């Protein structure tokens, strides 16, 4: 037994009521609206049932003319058969559990007049083995319908909680959680291994690069030594080249001095010959000048004579033409005069005489002009012959001058060539002397460089004989330097990191082996626990099925309670099948079965389950809804018979007490007087 007494104060239609409860079946009956369900609701509020708090506002449960309501349950904490109290922390046979509600929405729990939190109440009830949240323990009016609407999986879980088999499912789920944890760890380890493999690969690559970097650094150090001694070798070769060039310059200077002496003699001989030829050429030039002068005079005189002859001929022709013109004009005038004046003939005779005289003078003038012409032509012929002789002489003189000039040119070319060669040799001598000085300076500088280079190379190590040039070595140094530059980010930690991750990778591989072994063991454990769970569920269903089918048989029906998906505990579910009056058994369904059939089947199942429910208190509100009188009586008998020999409490709410008359039950009558619910107990 759980509850000894219920005290309601200003709760819904109750002003104040004390209702004692007995072990076994307690039947609360009375007309509709009397406050039967309010009585059960008060118990649920005091027990902290979440369903009640979700379905209604707690402040609405306070009597309409009051500001404070209180529900008190007197819990039975007497020692049980083993001599222990259910709640040993309370050293009293009765525990007073109170729930107070205020109009402003505040509410609180009290245990033995001490304020407590809800979780403390839940812990206390769990010690009594009572779960107020299981709808199979406290079934309100619509709970059967709600239970029917639950999924098969939820039905099965609720069944397990009601009969105390939660631990079997919890064991399986706990093992599954561990398996999920192991699988998660395995997956994490696999991911870690993959990442570690990638990281190890990265550090392996970095370590290999580090080794390559170290090799390149050693190579770079050797190349620096090789370069240093290569520079020493190059300086030595440069000194040899400078010394050889100095010897070549000395030999070239000796040859130039010898050639300059030879050219000096040649230049002196050319100067003497040029002086002689210049004197000869000047003499010939004077002769040519004289001849040219004579030629010019002759040519001038010849031209003048030719001009005079031409002028005389022109004058002669002009005189002849003038004489002809005048003669004609005279004839015209004479003819005209004679015709116009016959007395003029005498004058004309005189004029004719004068004309004859004039013609004679004109003829004489023509003869003189002709004489001048002939004289001029003769002079011109003489001058032409003389000019020809002079030009012949000039030609001979010119030819002689050309010969002398040609020899002078030849000697002059030789002289100039000798002078040029001498100048070039002197310039070359000066250049070579300068070059010789430079080479000696270079030789001194190279010897100093050689001393410094040998000192620097000795610091880098012993001499390295190399057949390569410094440029070739520098090219390799640059190439190696470029490779080292590309490895600048390769740290010296790469070796340590590689060894560390290599060790970590080995540890992870060892750990994954252990995890896989743990997974195997947990899977075996899950299989064992699942098998155990299935065995107890199967045994339970065998018992429930037997009672369920027995009750259905009395109700002229057949049915079966079965588990679907039994191999998967999380998908496993409970199905209730029923068939009335010879109909084929079908899973309970709102579209197939009537409300009465569903209510009867659910109640048959719940009643068949009651003997297996490990709870000190159970309640059902109006179980007989939709039932005909015969079925109501059969179910009532089954309720009473199922509680025989049990010290648990079963609270049954029904509008009528008739089905329970004459049975070993504790009947509580509820009726309402003046808006106040009142309670009386039928012994």
What are the tens digits of pLDDT across the range 430-442? 888 888 888 888 8
Q: What is the pLDDT of residue 657?
A: 56
Asked if 529 and 171 count as a contact pair (C-beta separation under 8 A), the reply is yes
- Complete DSSP assignment for 440-504: HHHHHHHHHHHHHHHHHHHHH-S----SS-HHHHHHHHHHHHHHHHHTTT--THHHHHHHHHHHH
Q: How many helices and strands (H and E) does the chain possess? A: 11, 15
Long-range contacts at 540-546 (CB < 8 A, ≥ 24 apart):
540/159, 540/163, 540/165, 540/612, 543/611, 543/612, 544/605, 544/608, 544/609, 544/612, 545/608
pLDDT band at 62 (very low <50, low <70, confident <90, very high): very high
Q: Residue 372 and residue 345: Cα distance in Å, rounded?
A: 40
Query: Cα dihedral sign for 333, 335, 336, 338?
Result: positive
> What is each CA distance from 113 to 45, 100, 208, 471, in whole angstroms?
17, 11, 78, 103
pLDDT tens-digit map of 528-563? 988 898 888 889 889 888 888 888 888 888 899 898
Q: What is the pLDDT of residue 627?
A: 67
Q: What is the pLDDT of residue 624?
A: 63
Q: What is the pLDDT of residue 54?
A: 54
Q: What is the pLDDT of residue 190?
A: 87
Q: What is the pLDDT of residue 205?
A: 84
> What is each CA distance from 581 to 556, 593, 595, 635, in whole angstroms?
6, 12, 16, 17
Q: Hey, is 560 helix, strand or coil?
A: strand
In this structure, what are the phi and psi dihedrals at residue 462, rounded to the nearest 5 degrees? -65, 160
pLDDT tens-digit map of 297-323? 777 777 787 777 777 677 777 777 777
Q: What is the pLDDT of residue 345?
A: 62
Taking the CB of residue 331, how many other CB atoms lie within 10 A of it? 10
Q: What is the pLDDT of residue 97?
A: 94
- Complete DSSP assignment for 629-671: HHHHHHHHHHHHHHTTT--SEEEEEES-SGGGTTSS-EEEEEE
Q: Residue 78 and residue 97: Cα distance in Å, rounded?
A: 15
pLDDT band at 358 (very low <50, low <70, confident <90, very high): low
Candidates 123, 422, 66; CA nearest to 258 is 422
3-state secondary structure 197-235: HHHHHHHHHHHHHHHHHHHHHHHHHHHHHHHHHHHHHHH
In this structure, what are the phi and psi dihedrals at residue 106, rounded to the nearest 5 degrees? -85, 145
Taking the CB of residue 214, how many other CB atoms lie within 10 A of it? 14
Q: Residue 183 and residue 190: Cα distance in Å, rounded?
A: 10
∠ CA 609-615-618, rounded to 5°: 75
Q: Residue 679 and residue 8: Cα distance in Å, rounded?
A: 11
Q: Is the pLDDT of residue 96 over 90?
A: yes
Taking the CB of residue 130, how many other CB atoms lie within 10 A of it? 22
* Mean per-residue pLDDT, 563-587: 86
Candidates 576, 560, 570, 561; CA nearest to 533 is 570
Q: Is the pLDDT of residue 120 over 90?
A: yes
- Both tokens of 477, joined, read 């140094």
Q: What is the pLDDT of residue 76?
A: 92
Contacts of 186 (CB under 8 A, 6+ apart): 512, 515, 516, 519
The residue with tokens 């010296």 is: 492
Mean pLDDT: which of 104-113, 389-398, 402-411 is highest?
Answer: 104-113
Candidates 682, 646, 683, 678; CA nearest to 31 is 678
Q: Is the pLDDT of residue 347 over 60?
A: no
In this structure, what are the phi and psi dihedrals at residue 116, rounded to the nearest 5 degrees? -135, 165
Candidates 596, 624, 617; CA nearest to 134 is 617
Asked if 370 and 309 count as a contact pair (C-beta separation under 8 A), the reply is no
Q: Is the pLDDT of residue 351 over 70?
A: no
Which region among 128-142, 513-527, 562-576 has the lowest average model confidence (pLDDT)? 128-142
pLDDT band at 590 (very low <50, low <70, confident <90, very high): low
* Mean per-residue pLDDT, 57-84: 89
Strand partners for 561: 576
Q: Is the pLDDT of residue 371 over 60?
A: yes
Q: What is the pLDDT of residue 55?
A: 56
Mean pLDDT: which of 301-305, 401-405, 425-429 is highest?
Answer: 425-429
pLDDT band at 341 (very low <50, low <70, confident <90, very high): low
- Both tokens of 61, joined, read 């449960």
Q: Residue 4 and residue 682: Cα distance in Å, rounded?
A: 16
pLDDT tens-digit map of 184-239? 888 888 888 888 888 888 888 888 888 888 888 788 888 788 878 878 888 888 88
- Both tokens of 261, joined, read 């002496």
- Complete DSSP assignment for 383-448: HHHHHHHHHHHHHHHHHHHHHHHHHHHHHHHHHHHHHHHHHHHHHHHHHHHHHHHHHHHHHHHHHH
Q: Is the pLDDT of residue 47 over 70?
A: yes
The residue with tokens 């259905």 is: 552
Mean of all residue pLDDT scores within the chain? 82
Bridge-based pairing state of the strands 649-654 and 557-564: unpaired
Q: What is the pLDDT of residue 683?
A: 62
Mean pLDDT: which of 409-413, 587-591, 673-677 is highest?
Answer: 673-677
Which region among 529-543, 602-616, 621-635, 641-655 has the lowest average model confidence (pLDDT)? 621-635
Q: What is the pLDDT of residue 72?
A: 95
Q: What is the pLDDT of residue 644?
A: 65
Q: Residue 129 and residue 457: Cα distance in Å, rounded?
A: 96
Element (H, E) at 177: helix 166-340
Q: Is the pLDDT of residue 488 over 70?
A: yes
Which region among 52-56, 123-127, 303-307, 326-330 has the lowest average model confidence (pLDDT)? 52-56
pLDDT tens-digit map of 159-181? 888 777 888 888 888 888 888 88
Q: Is the pLDDT of residue 621 over 90?
A: no
Q: What is the pLDDT of residue 359?
A: 65
Q: Is the pLDDT of residue 114 over 90?
A: yes
Q: What is the pLDDT of residue 122?
A: 92
Asked if 179 and 522 count as a contact pair (C-beta separation under 8 A), the reply is yes
**Can you state the angle between helices 166-340 and 152-163, rounded to 10 degrees?**
150
Max Cα distance, the chain (Å): 228
Q: Is the pLDDT of residue 147 over 70?
A: yes
Q: Residue 97 and residue 75: Cα distance in Å, rounded?
A: 7
pLDDT band at 410 (very low <50, low <70, confident <90, very high): confident
Contacts of 315 (CB under 8 A, 6+ apart): 369
- Judged on CB neighbours under 10 Å (0-12, 13-18, 19+), 519 is middle
Query: Which domains are seen in the chain, by residue range?
Result: 1-134+657-682 (3.40.50.300)
pLDDT band at 366 (very low <50, low <70, confident <90, very high): low
Q: Is the pLDDT of residue 629 over 80?
A: no
Tell me the whole-structure pTM to 2 decimals: 0.50
Strand partners for 19: 6
Q: What is the pLDDT of residue 362?
A: 64
Asked if 27 and 659 count as a contact pair (C-beta separation under 8 A), the reply is no
Q: Residue 470 and residue 401: Cα distance in Å, rounded?
A: 70
């Amino acid at each position: 037994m759980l509850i000894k007494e219920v005290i309601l104060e200003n709760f819904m239609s109750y002003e104040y009521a004390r209702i004692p409860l007995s072990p076994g079946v307690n039947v609360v009956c009375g007309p509709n609206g009397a406050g039967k369900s309010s009585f059960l609701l008060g118990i649920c509020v005091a027990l902290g049932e979440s369903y009640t708090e979700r379905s209604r506002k707690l402040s609405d449960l306070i009597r309409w003319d009051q500001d404070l309501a209180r529900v008190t349950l007197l819990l039975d904490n007497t020692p049980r058969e083993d001599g222990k109290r259910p709640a040993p922390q309370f050293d009293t046979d009765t525990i007073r559990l109170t729930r107070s509600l205020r109009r402003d929405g505040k509410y609180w729990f009290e245990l033995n007049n001490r304020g407590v939190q809800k979780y403390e109440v839940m812990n206390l009830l769990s010690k009594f083995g009572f779960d107020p949240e299981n709808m199979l323990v406290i079934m309100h009016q619509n709970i059967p319908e709600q239970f029917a609407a639950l999924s098969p999986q939820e039905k099965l879980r609720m069944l397990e909680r009601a009969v105390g088999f939660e631990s079997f499912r919890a064991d399986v789920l706990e093992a599954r959680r561990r398996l999920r944890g192991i699988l998660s760890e395995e997956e994490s380890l696999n991911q870690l291994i993959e990442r570690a493999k990638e990281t190890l690969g990265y550090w392996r690559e970095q370590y290999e690069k580090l080794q390559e970097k170290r090799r390149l650094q050693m190579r770079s150090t050797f190349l620096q030594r090789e370069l240093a001694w290569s520079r020493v070798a190059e300086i030595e070769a440069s000194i040899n080249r400078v010394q050889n060039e100095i010897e070549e310059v000395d030999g070239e200077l000796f040859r130039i001095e010898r050639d300059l002496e030879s050219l000096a003699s040649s230049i002196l001989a050319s100067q003497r010959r040029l002086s002689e030829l210049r004197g000869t050429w000047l003499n010939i030039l004077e002769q040519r000048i004289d001849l040219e002068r004579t030629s010019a005079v002759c040519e001038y005189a010849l031209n003048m004579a030719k001009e005079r002859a031409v002028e005389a001929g022109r004058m002669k022709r002009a005189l002849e033409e003038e004489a002809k013109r005048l003669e004609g004009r005279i004839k015209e005038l004479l003819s005209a005069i004679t015709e116009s004046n016959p007395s003029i003939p005498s004058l004309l005779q005189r004029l004719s005489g004068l004309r004859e005289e004039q013609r004679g003078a004109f003829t004489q003038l023509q003869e003189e002009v002709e004489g001048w012409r002939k004289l001029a032509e003769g002079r011109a012929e003489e001058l032409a012959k003389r000019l020809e002789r002079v030009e012949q002489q000039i030609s001979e003189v010119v030819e002689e001058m050309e010969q002398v000039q040609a020899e002078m040119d030849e000697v002059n070319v030789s002289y100039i060539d000798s002078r040029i060669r001498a100048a070039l040799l002197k310039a070359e001598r000066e250049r070579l002397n300068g070059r010789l000085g430079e080479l000696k300076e270079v030789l001194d500088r190279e010897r100093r460089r050689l001393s410094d280079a040998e000192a620097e190379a000795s610091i880098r190590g012993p001499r390295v004989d190399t057949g390569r040039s410094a440029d070739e070595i520098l090219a390799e140094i640059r190439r190696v330097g470029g490779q080292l530059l590309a490895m600048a980010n390769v740290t010296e930690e790469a070796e340590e990191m590689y060894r560390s991750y290599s060790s970590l990778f080995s540890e992870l591989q060892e750990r994954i082996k252990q995890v896989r072994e743990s997974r195997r063991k947990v899977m075996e454990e899950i299989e064992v626990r699942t098998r155990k769970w299935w065995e107890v569920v199967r045994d339970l269903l065998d018992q429930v099925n037997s009672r369920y089918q027995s009750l259905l048989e009395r109700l002229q029906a057949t049915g079966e309670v079965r588990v679907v998906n039994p191999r998967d505990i999380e998908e496993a579910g409970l199905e209730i099948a029923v068939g009335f009056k010879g109909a084929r058994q079908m899973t309970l369904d709102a579209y197939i079965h009537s409300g009465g059939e569903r209510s009867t089947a659910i109640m048959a199942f719940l009643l068949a389950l009651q003997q297996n429910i490990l709870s000190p208190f159970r309640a059902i509100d109006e179980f007989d809804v939709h039932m005909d009188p015969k079925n109501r009586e059969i179910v009532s008998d089954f309720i009473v018979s199922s509680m025989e020999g049990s010290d648990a409490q079963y609270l049954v709410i029904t509008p009528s007490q008739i089905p329970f008359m004459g049975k070993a039950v504790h009947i509580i009558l509820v009726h309402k007087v003046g808006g106040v619910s009142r309670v009386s107990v039928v012994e």
